[in-house]
A and B are shown apart, each in its own frame.
Chain A
Amino acid sequence: MSTPCLTIKNMTMAYGDFVIQRDLDFTINSGDVFIIMGGSGCGKSTLLMHLIGLQHPVKGQVFYGSESLWEADINVRQRILKRTGVLFQSGALLSSMTLAENIALPLSQHTKLSAMRIREIVSYKLALVGLAGFEDYYPAEISGGMQKRAGLARAMALDPEILYFDEPSAGLDPISAKLLDDLIRSLRDNLGSTIVMVTHELASIFAIGTNSVFLDADTKTMIAGGPPKQLLAESTDPKVVRFLTRGVMEKHHLHTTNSQEHSEL
C-alpha cells in the first residue's frame, strides 16, 4: 500500500513573526506508522496542530487525499477532520464526564446511532484498549496510563482513517509504553488506519515506525526523512545520528558500533 493519504507541500509554520519550521515537504502513505521526530522545541507538536486543523499554516498546503485542508471551506474541513482521531499528550479526556460519556460524545453528536448501539460501541472500544468494565469511572479516578488508553478509545470512537498521537508513551513506564506500542501496531494492522505519531521515544520509533520526518530546531526545517531503521543505518547527518543513538555514537565510529547498537534496540 502506498497511496498518499496526507501530503504536506511547502509548508511554513510560525507564531506571529517567529518562524518555527519552513519548507516542509513530505507525504504520508496509507497504512504508514509515520513518526514526526526531532529535539525538544523543534516544532513537532506545532506541526501536529497544523495537520489536525487547530493552527493555520503561514504558507503552504496540507492535502488530505486530493483535498486541501486549509483552502476548503469550514464544512469541508469539518468533514475531513471527522475522518481523523487525535490522542493528546495527557489524554485530554473531559474531566466532568465518565469514560463512557467521553467516548459516546462524538458518536452521539456525529452519528444517528441508537443509545443502545452507542453503549455497545463504547464497551467495545474500551475492551479494545483493555479497559473493559471501566465505563462509569471519571478520568481523575484512573491512572495516567489508563487515561491515555481511554483517550485512545475516544480517538477511535468514529473509526477514523488517520490516528494522530502526541507523545503517546510520555509518562508511561517502559512496559506500559511497549504495550501501547503493540496496541497501536495491532490497531493499524487490523483496522488499516494510518498512524501519525509525534515522539522522541527511540524504542517506539524503531519498533513501530515505518516512515518518518526529522525536524531540526537550528535550521528550522526538515533535515531527514524515511524509514527510521534506514535513517539509522544510512544517515550521515551528525544531528540525526546523534538523536537516533542518544548521542552515544559520534560519527567517526558510526560504522563499528552500528550493528551492535541496532540489535540492542
Chain B
Amino acid sequence: MLTNHVPCEIKIVHIDTMLELILVGDWVLDADTPSLDPLLAQMIKGSTIKRLVFSTEALGHWDSLLMTDLIRVIDHGARQGIEVDTTSLPEGIQGLLSLVYAVPERLDAKRQDIKRSWLEVIGHFVISAVTEANLLLIFVGETVLSVGALLRGKARFRTVDLWINIQDCGPSAVPIITLISFLIGLILAFVGALELALFGAQIYIADMVGLGMTREMGGFMAAIIMSGRTGAAFAAQLGTMQVNSEIDALKTMGFKPMEFLVLPRMLALILIMPMLCLYADLMGIIGGSLVTVGFFDVSFLEYFDRTSGAIHLKDLMVGVTKCSVFGVLIALSGCLRGMQCGRSASAVGKAATSAVVTCIVFIVIADSTMTLICNRLGI
C-alpha cells in the first residue's frame, strides 16, 4: 500500500467544441476525489460541446474509484449525446471499461418496491395463513400415512437412527430437565406455602406441589424445554439437510423422507416424553419437599406420606398422556419446519425459530384443551 498519495484533481480544458479532461494524481480508495459536477454541468445536450477526450499523462495509481468516476462521465455523456473518447485512457482502464459494457445492464432485473394497500396486505396475510394451514394438514396426513406404513411393518428407516434420536432426546436432556423441574417444584411450594402457613395448613403444600406437578407442570415444563432443545434441533438438522440437497438424495434413492427422517424422530419423542414427564414430576416433588421441610416445620416422612395420599394413579396418567401428546406436537412442528426450510443459511435459522414458536403455540393450545376436557369429564 502506498502511504504518500499525490492528491488527485481534474482540470478541464476547452478546445473549440471539445473538452479535454486532465486527470492528475493517485485515484485510490482512500483519496478525496474532486467533484465531477462542474464537468457534468458543461456536458449538456445542445451546448457547444460535442466531444470529450481524456489526458492521463499525470495520472498516477488508480483503482475502482477512478473507474466509477469514469463510468459516471461516460454514462452522462451517452445520455446527453456527447461523444466520450476513451482511446487515450491507459490500456488497463480501456480493458476494464470494455468488460463493464460487454454485458448490457438487465433492466428487467431491477426490483421495485411496490406499495400495497392495507386491504391487499390483509388479503395476503389470509392467503398465506390458509396455505400454511394447508401445508400443516398435508404434513399431518403424510405423517399418519407413514405411521400406517410403520404399523404394517413397511416403513423404511434405520433402527440405529431411532436409537440415536432416543439418546439425543432422552438421557442427554436429563440435566436440564432436572434443573428446571426442581426449581419449579421449589417455586410452587414457596408460592403456596406463604398463604397456607397463615392458616397453619403447611402440610397441604404437599398436596399442592404433588398434584400441580403431576397433572400439569411436570409435563408442561418438560415439553417447553424439549421444544426449545429438540424441536429446534430437528428443524435445524432437517433444514441443513435440505440446504445440502441430502433430502433430495434420499428421495432419489427411493426413501420417503417422512419415513426415513421424520418417523424415527417422532417415535423417539413419543417414547421418551412420558418418562421425562415422570422424572420431572419426581424432581418437582423433591424440590417442593426441601422447601416445606426446610422452612415450614414439616418432616420428610409427613410430606411424602401426604404426597402419596394426594396423588392418585389417574393424576399421573393425565400428566403422562398430556406429555405424550406434547411429544407428538414437538416432533411434528420441528420436522415440519425443517422440511419446509428454504435453501440458504438464514432459512435454517428461520426454520429453527419458527419451529420453537410453533411448538410452544401448539403445546399451549393442546394443554388448555386437554385440561378443559379433563375438567368437564371430572377426571
Distance in angstroms between the alpha carbons of A115 and B138 in the assembled complex: 47
Distance in angstroms between the alpha carbons of A215 and B72 in the assembled complex: 46
Among A113, A121, A137, A186, which residue has its beta carbon within 8 angstroms of that of B99? A186
Among B30, B106, B346, which residue has its beta carbon within 8 angstroms of that of A96? B346
CB distance from A74 to the nearest CB of B (A): 18
Find out whether the CB atom of B343 lies under 8 angstroms from the CB atom of A120. Answer: no
- Chain B residue contacts of A189, Cβ below 8 A: 92, 95
CB distance from A70 to the nearest CB of B (A): 20
Within 8 A of B (CB), among A205-239: none
**Taking the complex as formed, is A5 at the interface, i.e. its CB lies under 8 A from any CB of chain B?**
no
CB distance from B163 to the nearest CB of A (A): 30
Distance in angstroms between the alpha carbons of A120 and B102 in the assembled complex: 18
Among B1, B67, B109, which residue has its beta carbon within 8 angstroms of that of A124? B67
**Taking the complex as formed, is B68 at the interface, i.e. its CB lies under 8 A from any CB of chain A?**
yes
Distance in angstroms between the alpha carbons of A121 and B70 in the assembled complex: 11
- Chain B residue contacts of A113, Cβ below 8 A: 29
- Chain B residue contacts of A123, Cβ below 8 A: 68, 71
Among A96, A112, A120, A133, which residue has its beta carbon within 8 angstroms of that of B110? A133
Distance in angstroms between the alpha carbons of A191 and B65 in the assembled complex: 13
- Chain A residue contacts of B29, Cβ below 8 A: 111, 113, 158-159
- Chain B residue contacts of A132, Cβ below 8 A: 100, 103-106
Find out whether the CB atom of A124 lies under 8 angstroms from the CB atom of B100. Answer: yes
Among B65, B71, B107, B346, which residue has its beta carbon within 8 angstroms of that of A95? B346
Task: Give the nearest-CB partner of B69 in chain A.
Answer: A120
**Taking the complex as formed, is B311 at the interface, i.e. its CB lies under 8 A from any CB of chain A?**
no
Within 8 A of A (CB), among B73-124: 91-93, 95-96, 99-111
Find out whether the CB atom of A120 lies under 8 angstroms from the CB atom of B100. Answer: no
Find out whether the CB atom of B68 lies under 8 angstroms from the CB atom of A120. Answer: yes
Distance in angstroms between the alpha carbons of A133 and B328 in the assembled complex: 48
How many interface contacts (CB-CB < 8 Å) are there between A and B?
A: 86
Find out whether the CB atom of B30 lies under 8 angstroms from the CB atom of A124. Answer: no
**Taking the complex as formed, is A59 at the interface, i.e. its CB lies under 8 A from any CB of chain B?**
no
Find out whether the CB atom of B106 lies under 8 angstroms from the CB atom of A134. Answer: yes
**Taking the complex as formed, is B145 at the interface, i.e. its CB lies under 8 A from any CB of chain A?**
no
Find out whether the CB atom of A133 lies under 8 angstroms from the CB atom of B109. Answer: yes
Within 8 A of B (CB), among A47-86: 79, 83
- Chain B 239-254, CB-CB to A under 8 Å as 1, else 0, gives 0000000000000000
Find out whether the CB atom of A133 lies under 8 angstroms from the CB atom of B105. Answer: yes
CB distance from A77 to the nearest CB of B (A): 14
- Chain B residue contacts of A187, Cβ below 8 A: 99
**Taking the complex as formed, is B342 at the interface, i.e. its CB lies under 8 A from any CB of chain A?**
yes
Interface size of A as a range: 35 or more
Given A140-B343, A190-B92, A190-B93, verify A120-B72 contact (CB < 8 Å).
yes
Find out whether the CB atom of A127 lies under 8 angstroms from the CB atom of B100. Answer: yes
- Chain A 121-151, CB-CB to B under 8 Å as 1, else 0, gives 1011101101111111111100000000000
**Taking the complex as formed, is B345 at the interface, i.e. its CB lies under 8 A from any CB of chain A?**
yes
- Chain B residue contacts of A134, Cβ below 8 A: 106, 109
Task: Give the nearest-CB partner of B111 in chain A.
Answer: A136
Among B71, B101, B111, which residue has its beta carbon within 8 angstroms of that of A120? B71
- Chain B residue contacts of A139, Cβ below 8 A: 344
Task: Give the nearest-CB partner of A83 in chain B.
Answer: B1
Task: Give the nearest-CB partner of B350 in chain A.
Answer: A96
Within 8 A of B (CB), among A168-205: 183, 186-187, 189-192
- Chain B residue contacts of A159, Cβ below 8 A: 28-29, 63-64
Can you spell out 18 A-B residue pairs with CB atoms less than 8 angstroms apart? Answer: A95-B344, A95-B347, A96-B344, A120-B68, A120-B72, A127-B103, A128-B99, A134-B106, A135-B110, A137-B109, A139-B344, A140-B343, A159-B29, A159-B63, A189-B92, A190-B92, A190-B99, A191-B96
* Other 16 A-B pairs with CB < 8 A, given A190-B91, A191-B92: A83-B1, A113-B29, A117-B65, A120-B71, A120-B72, A125-B64, A128-B96, A132-B103, A132-B106, A133-B106, A133-B108, A133-B109, A137-B109, A159-B28, A190-B99, A192-B92
List residues of A whose CB falls within 8 A of some B CB. 79, 83, 94-96, 111-113, 117, 120-121, 123-125, 127-128, 130-140, 158-159, 183, 186-187, 189-192
List residues of B whose CB falls within 8 A of some A CB. 1, 28-30, 63-65, 67-68, 71-72, 91-93, 95-96, 99-111, 342-347
